[in-house]
Amino acid sequence: MAPKSPAAESLKIEQRAQRQAARRSDPDSELSEALEATFPASDPVSAQTPVTAGASVLEDRLAWVSDETEELAEKAGERLTELQEILVDEIRARPLRAIAWAAAAGAILGFLTAK
């Protein structure tokens, strides 16, 4: 299993933080920033987003599920990496035992597939 690049991991973390910040952002602050950016204009801008009945709730929940899924996948990947490191350390510490276990597993698998 090849280790992931630190840049790719950093990008994923940054993108997740941006999505979470966008969901938590206050629409009033967006409007205030838009007003300040256009001052002293004659007609201020308004923050409007197209609304589809029930779509925003569904989109928020899908985004939340997506973020939770990404976090769970990351944690699972980290645990798998830890398990792999523990296994490699154990094999290096006791190579003969590892060979015996592999031979036993191979024999059992061979008997099961021969039927």
Q: pLDDT tens digits, residue range 80-108? A: 999 999 999 999 999 999 999 999 999 99
Question: Residue 42: what pLDDT?
Answer: 54
Question: Residue 60: what pLDDT?
Answer: 79
Q: How confident is the model at residue 52 (pLDDT cuts 50, 70, 90)?
A: low
Q: Is residue 5 part of a domain?
A: no
Q: pLDDT tens digits, residue range 65-84? A: 888 999 899 999 999 999 99
Domain ranges, residue 72 = 12-46+56-114
Q: pLDDT tens digits, residue range 27-45? A: 666 666 666 666 655 555 5
Quick check: 47 and 31 in contact, CB under 8 A?
A: yes
Query: How many domains are contained in the chain?
Result: 1
* Four-CA torsion 85, 87, 90, 92, nearest 10 degrees: -70
Q: Is residue 109 part of a domain?
A: yes
Q: Which of 73, 80, 64, 60 is nearest to 12 (CA)?
A: 73
Using alpha carbons only, give the angle 35, 27, 12 rounded to the nearest 5 degrees.
Answer: 115
Q: Is residue 70 part of a domain?
A: yes
Residue 62 to residue 21: CA distance in whole angstroms: 16
Q: Is residue 83 part of a domain?
A: yes
Q: Is residue 1 part of a domain?
A: no
Strand, coil or helix: 1? coil
Q: Is residue 65 part of a domain?
A: yes
The alpha carbon dihedral of 28, 68, 73, 76 has a sign of positive
Q: Is residue 7 part of a domain?
A: no
Q: Is residue 102 part of a domain?
A: yes
